[in-house]
Structure 1
Amino acid sequence: MQTDVDPRNLIGRKAFDRNGTKIGTIDEVYLDDATGVPEWAAIRTGLFSRDAFVPLEPSELVDGTLRVPFERSLIKDAPDFGVGRHLSPEQELQLYHHYGLDITAPPGPDATFGHIAGAEEDPT
């Protein structure tokens, strides 16, 4: 994803899967505490649904929407860690494995992933 995008500007944007099917609305963005780089987005998948974590890399910001290169069903089945808390290195590894993504080096023992909370709004 573009590195010059302010992660706060992602909150509230619509997200679509690889086929152009709407996934939902970005509620929160999780940053790597060590680098400050946006790593994950929590997407509200429906009015009464939970948030699903998606990786921001290899996702793309296209015409003001987040395009996630995975099927909606895979996204909705992502591990649920709740939102509003840090992601532990173990949780991040679970997410990487869920999406079949390879990471070159596992996060260090002190790596945590903070978040930028989004405004509460109707995700549809």
Structure 2
Amino acid sequence: MQTDIDPRSLIGRKAFDRNGTKIGTIDEVYLDDATGVPEWAAVRTGLFSRDAFVPLEPSELVGDALRVPFERSLIRDAPDFGVGRHLSPEQELQLYHHYGLDVTLPSEFHHPPADPDEPRDFGRLAGD
């Protein structure tokens, strides 16, 4: 995903799965504490349902919507940690495992901490 986008501008956008099926609307964006890069979005999956956390990398913006490259069922089954709170490193690791994403290989969006033994801390909300 583009890193030059203001993460607050993602809030309120619609999110779709890999097949183009609507997942819901983005409620919150969570930033990497070390880099400030947007890492996760909490997507409200329905009026009375919960928020599902989705990874922003490898998701992409297509027009005004976020395209998440996973099946809707996998997204809806993601661990629910509630929104408006900081994600702990353990919760963030659970999300990476849920989506089958590799947390050991850095990408342009995933920078390792200065000390490789130090746990990464994610979850600052956009605007915090």
Deviation at 1:115, TM superposition (A): 1.0
Q: Secondary structure of the residue that 2:126 maps to in structure 1?
A: strand
Root-mean-square deviation (CA), in Å? 1.5
Alignment match, 1:113? 123
Alignment match, 1:23? 23
Distance 2:2 2:87 in 1: 22
Deviation at 1:116, TM superposition (A): 2.7
Distance 1:32 1:2 in 2: 15
Distance 1:101 1:110 in 2: 15
**Residue 49 (structure 2) pairs with residue 39 (structure 1):** no
Deviation at 1:31, TM superposition (A): 0.3
Q: Secondary structure of the residue that 1:87 maps to in structure 2?
A: coil
Alignment match, 1:65? 65
TM-score by length of 1: 0.89
Of all paired residues, the percent bearing the same amino acid is 85
Query: Residue by residue, what CA displacement relative to the aligned partner does 1:46-105 show, whole Å, maximum 9, x if unpaired?
Result: 000000000000000011100000000000000011111110111010000000000126
Aligned partners of 2:30 and 2:122 also within 8 Å: no
Structure 1: 5+ residue stretches without partners: 118-124
**Residue 4 (structure 2) pairs with residue 13 (structure 1):** no
TM-score by length of 2: 0.86
Q: How many residues align?
A: 117
Alignment match, 2:82? 82
Q: Secondary structure of the residue that 1:40 maps to in structure 2?
A: strand
Structure 2: 5+ residue stretches without partners: 106-111
Alignment match, 1:120? none
Query: Residue by residue, what CA displacement relative to the aligned partner does 1:14-61 show, whole Å, maximum 9, x if unpaired?
Result: 000000000000000000111100000000000000000000000000
Alignment match, 2:56? 56
